[in-house]
Structure 1
């Protein structure tokens, strides 16, 4: 078992490694992008990646405090479900108004999780990176096409 400081150091080292790997990849629009802190341009809509001692996670999260508006974002994403599935070449989980365990708040999300990874085991890092990086790059490609349909929900 690791101390909180050791666990934080290992995770920071992993995210730095992933960030350096992804930094070589331009966005779908040919721009330099901070992949670990991806900017969707929509307040309360985030692309998230995470890894822990059991799994790796990537997703689109909607954190709007007004649950009605959060549902509008979710419904707009539903319109793009066939495109997202086609680009990802896999089905993702869709959750309207679930609980974010970190914040305790209600969020909606579209996500994919892979079990069997342990971010605290450096031997797993290459596999975690192979799981996260192509999906994040594909999310960016998806967003390059879909983001304009969300302009009416900006605000």
Structure 2
């Protein structure tokens, strides 16, 4: 069992390693980017990377407070589903509309999760990094053209 401090240090070490690994990778637009804190440029849309004790996941989160805009964002993702799947090379992402997050806030989430992998085991880090890198780079490729449809909704 790990103490909270040990878990915190291990997570910090992982995200530092991930950041260093991803630093030379440019965005689809050829720009330097912070991959672990990806900025979509659209308020209420986030790409979230998460690695925990028992799983790793990557998600598109819609947290827009305005219900009409929130719904419009989700609809826009639905309309672009084939484009997103083509960029990802995967069709097995989970789509969840109007769910409640850990803080009681209404969100929508499109994501992929793999269980049985741990940020606390350094031997799992290559698999974690590979999972996250492949998908965040693909999301960035998708977003480089898809974001304009979302901008038009603002």
TM-score grouping bracket, smaller chain normalisation:
over 0.9
Return the alpha-carbon distance in structure 2 between the equivalents of residues 55 and 117 of structure 1.
Answer: 5
What is the CA-CA distance between 1:104 and the residue it aligns to? 2.5
State whether structure 2 residue 5 is matched by structure 1 residue 13.
no
What do residues 17-43 of structure 1 show as CA deviations (whole Å, max 9, x unaligned)? 111111110000000001111110101
What do residues 84-115 of structure 1 show as CA deviations (whole Å, max 9, x unaligned)? 111212121111011212x3311101101111
- Moved >6 Å (runs of 4+): none
Q: CA RMSD in A?
A: 1.0
Q: What's the secondary structure of 1:107's corresponding residue?
A: strand
Return the alpha-carbon distance in structure 2 between the equivalents of residues 68 and 53 of structure 1.
Answer: 36
What stretches of structure 2 of length at least 5 have no aligned partner?
none
- Superposed counterparts of 1:2-151, under 5 Å: 2-91=2-91, 92-101=93-102, 103-151=103-151
Return the alpha-carbon distance in structure 2 between the equivalents of residues 116 and 67 of structure 1.
Answer: 35
Normalised by the size of structure 2, how large is the TM-score?
Answer: 0.95
Return the alpha-carbon distance in structure 1 between the equivalents of residues 47 and 88 of structure 2.
Answer: 15
Q: What's the secondary structure of 2:152's corresponding residue?
A: helix
